[in-house]
C-alpha cells in the first residue's frame, strides 16, 4: 500500500459513513463533512424518508468491515414476500423466491444511519463536521469550500475528495462544469408522502410483520414496511396531478373518506392519518445518470451522487454499499493508488448502475399495476416452478438483484430472457383450475426447449 492519504468525504449519510469505516481501516486519515446537524444530538429527522430494504448486495458491502451482523441484529426485519391488499381489504401473499430463507430486510433509514455513523466515529483517524454546506470544489488542488455553522467560508484541503452527498451532490455539480461531462436527470410524474400505522397497545404489529405490504391501485400505490417498534412506515406513491393524485387530495376533510374507499383496511389502522397527511411533505423521485464519475484520480462521486435511482427495486442503498466495497477492493488491488483505483471503479460500476436504474423504473409498473393482475401472478408461479425444478440456470431476475451479487447488467439480461420463456409457456399452458403435478409436468415440457436461450451468468460483484 502507498502512504496513507488525507481523504475528504462530503456527506455523512449511509454510504459516506460506511466509506469512512473502509478507508480508516486502510490507514487513511478521513474527514467527513455534512450539511445536516449531528443526528446523535438532534435525532434523525423523518417524514420524507422512504424506509429501506436491505438485501444481499448491501449485506455484502457491510460484511467487508464486519457490520452485516451488527445491522441485522439491531435493525432488520425479514420480509420474504409482498402482501397485496385490494380495495375490499382482502390480502394475498406473494413470496419473492421459491427458496426458503430468501428475504429482503426492512431497516429504518434513521436507525441505520446512526449505527453506521457511530461505527465510523469510533474508528481511529475519522473526524465528522456537521452543519457544513459544501459550496464548491477546487478540482485541481483538490480542495473543497464549506459554509460553516458560524456562516464563515472555510477551505479544506485533502489528497482525495469523495462525494457521497446524494442525488443533488455539490461535488458532482462541480464535475458537471468540466468539459465533456455527461449529465441527465429525469423526474417521475409521481411523488411520495410518508404516513404511519402505529403499533398496537402493548407494542404488537397491526398487520403481518414479515412482509412488504402493497396496495396496488393501477398507476398509484401505497406500501408499508415494518419497524422494530411495531409501527409500519407507509409511503404513498401518487402522481402530482390527476384523478388519484396529491393535487386532487389536498389536506383537509376529504382525506379520511378517500382512504376509507381506496385503502379501507389501512385507513382503519391510521388514527393520525389526517395529521400525518397534512404535516409530511411530498417528495420527488429522480433518476440521475452521469459520466465520468471521477476526475484526475483525486475527486470522485459514488452512490446517489453518481447514480440516483427510484426506490422501486429497493436497491438505492444496496447499490451504494456495493459501490463502497468495490472501490475498497480496487484500492487493495491497486495497492492503495487512488489514481488507478478510481478510473477502474467507474469502469466497473457504470453499466451496472444504468441497469439497476432501468430495472427500478420497470419495477414501479410491476408493483403498482401488474402485481394484482391474475396473468402476472400466473407468470410468477411459472417462474418459481422453473426455478425450483431447474435450479440456478433459470434464477429469476428478482432473485439475482435482491439475493445475489451477480452484476446488475447480467441480471437485467437474464430478466429479459426469462420474460420471453414465461410468455411462451403461458400461451402454451393456460392457467389451470388446480395447480397439480399434471400442470407442473406440462409447464416443464413446454419450457424445456425454450431454456436453451438462457445464457450463463457472470460471477458476483
pLDDT tens-digit profile of 352-362? Answer: 999 999 999 99
DSSP secondary structure letters along 275-328: HHHHHSPPEEEEEEEEE-SEETTTEEE-THHHH---STTS-HHHHHHHHHHHHH
For 426-453, write each residue's pLDDT tens digit.
999 999 988 999 999 999 999 999 999 9
DSSP secondary structure letters along 403-452: H--S-HHHHHHHHHHHHHHHHHHHHHSPPPSS--HHHHHHHHHHHGGGGG
State residue 459's pLDDT score: 62
Cell numbers given for 134: 459544501
pTM, two decimals, is 0.93
State residue 47's pLDDT score: 43
User: Region 325-345: what's the mean pLDDT?
Assistant: 98
Question: Cis link prior to 210 (omega < 30° from 0)?
Answer: no
Query: Which overall architecture, per CATH, does domain 6-77+105-184+286-354 show?
Result: 3-Layer(bba) Sandwich (3.50)
For 43-77, write each residue's pLDDT tens digit.
655 445 567 999 999 999 999 999 999 999 988 99
3-class secondary structure, 73: helix
Question: Which residues, in sequence order, are bridge partners of residue 145?
Answer: 136, 155
For 287-328, write each residue's pLDDT tens digit.
999 999 999 999 999 999 999 999 999 999 999 999 999 999
The helix (H) or strand (E) run that includes residue 378 is: helix 374-390
For 387-439, write each residue's pLDDT tens digit.
999 988 899 999 999 999 999 999 999 999 999 999 999 999 999 988 999 99
Residue 122 above 50 pLDDT? yes
Residue 461 above 70 pLDDT? no
Could you give the count of Cα atoms lying within 13 Å of 101 in the half-sphere of its Cβ?
Answer: 2
User: Above pLDDT 90, what percent of the chain?
Assistant: 87
Confirm if 22 and 73 have CB atoms less than 8 A apart: no
Cell numbers given for 292: 465520468
3-class secondary structure, 91: strand
Residue 279 above 60 pLDDT? yes
In the chain, where the domains are located: 6-77+105-184+286-354, 187-284, 373-453
CB-based contacts of 247, cutoff 8 Å, min separation 6: 240, 241
CB-based contacts of 88, cutoff 8 Å, min separation 6: 264
Residue 460 above 70 pLDDT? no
Question: Mean pLDDT across the chain, nearest whole number?
Answer: 94
Confirm if 312 and 361 have CB atoms less than 8 A apart: yes
CB-based contacts of 297, cutoff 8 Å, min separation 6: 338, 339, 340, 342, 343
State residue 396's pLDDT score: 92
Amino acid at each position: 500500500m502507498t502512504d496513507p492519504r488525507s481523504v475528504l468525504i462530503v456527506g455523512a449519510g449511509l454510504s459516506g459513513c460506511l466509506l469512512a469505516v473502509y478507508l480508516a481501516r486502510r490507514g487513511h486519515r478521513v474527514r467527513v463533512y455534512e450539511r445536516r446537524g449531528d443526528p446523535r444530538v438532534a435525532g434523525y429527522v423523518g417524514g420524507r424518508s422512504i424506509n429501506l430494504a436491505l438485501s444481499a448486495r448491501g449485506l455484502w458491502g457491510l460484511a467487508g468491515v464486519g457490520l452485516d451482523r451488527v445491522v441485522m441484529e439491531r435493525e432488520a426485519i425479514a420480509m420474504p414476500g409482498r402482501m397485496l391488499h385490494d380495495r375490499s381489504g382482502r390480502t394475498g401473499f406473494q413470496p419473492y423466491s421459491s427458496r426458503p430463507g430468501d428475504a429482503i430486510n426492512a431497516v429504518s433509514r434513521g436507525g441505520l444511519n446512526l449505527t453506521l455513523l457511530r461505527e465510523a466515529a469510533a474508528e481511529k483517524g475519522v473526524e465528522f463536521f456537521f452543519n457544513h454546506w459544501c459550496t464548491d470544489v477546487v478540482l485541481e488542488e483538490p480542495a473543497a469550500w464549506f459554509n460553516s455553522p458560524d456562516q464563515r467560508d472555510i477551505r479544506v484541503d485533502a489528497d482525495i475528495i469523495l462525494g457521497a452527498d446524494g442525488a443533488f451532490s455539490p461535488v458532482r455539480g462541480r464535475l458537471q462544469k468540466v468539459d465533456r461531462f455527461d449529465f441527465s436527470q429525469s423526474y417521475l410524474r409521481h411523488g411520495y408522502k410518508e404516513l404511519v400505522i402505529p403499533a398496537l397497545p402493548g407494542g404488537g404489529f397491526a398487520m403481518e410483520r414479515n412482509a412488504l405490504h402493497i396496495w396496488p391501485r393501477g398507476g398509484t400505490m401505497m406500501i408499508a414496511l415494518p419497524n422494530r417498534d411495531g409501527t409500519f412506515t407507509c409511503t404513498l406513491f401518487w402522481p402530482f396531478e390527476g384523478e388519484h393524485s396529491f393535487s386532487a387530495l389536498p389536506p383537509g376533510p376529504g382525506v379520511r373518506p378517500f382512504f376509507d374507499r381506496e385503502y379501507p383496511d389501512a385507513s382503519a389502522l391510521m388514527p393520525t392519518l389526517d395529521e400525518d397527511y397534512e404535516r409530511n411533505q411530498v417528495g420527488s423521485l429522480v433518476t440521475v445518470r452521469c459520466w465520468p464519475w471521477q476526475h484526475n484520480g483525486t475527486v470522485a462521486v459514488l452512490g446517489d451522487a453518481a447514480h440516483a435511482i427510484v426506490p422501486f427495486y429497493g436497491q438505492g442503498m444496496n447499490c451504494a454499499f456495493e459501490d463502497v466495497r468495490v472501490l475498497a477492493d480496487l484500492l487493495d488491488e491497486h495497492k492503495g493508488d487512488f489514481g488507478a483505483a478510481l478510473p477502474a471503479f467507474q469502469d466497473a460500476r457504470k453499466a451496472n448502475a444504468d441497469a439497476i436504474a432501468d430495472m427500478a423504473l420497470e419495477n414501479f409498473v410491476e408493483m403498482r399495476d401488474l402485481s394484482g393482475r391474475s396473468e402476472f401472478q400466473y407468470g410468477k408461479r411459472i417462474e418459481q416452478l422453473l426455478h425450483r425444478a431447474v435450479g440456478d440456470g433459470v434464477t429469476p431476475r428478482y432473485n439475482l438483484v435482491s439475493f445475489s451479487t451477480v452484476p446488475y447488467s447480467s441480471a437485467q439480461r437474464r430478466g429479459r430472457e426469462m420474460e420471453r420463456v414465461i410468455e411462451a409457456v403461458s400461451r402454451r399452458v393456460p392457467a389451470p383450475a388446480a395447480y397439480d403435478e399434471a400442470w407442473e409436468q406440462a409447464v416443464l415440457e413446454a419450457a424445456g426447449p425454450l431454456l436453451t436461450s438462457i445464457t450463463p451468468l457472470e460471477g458476483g460483484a
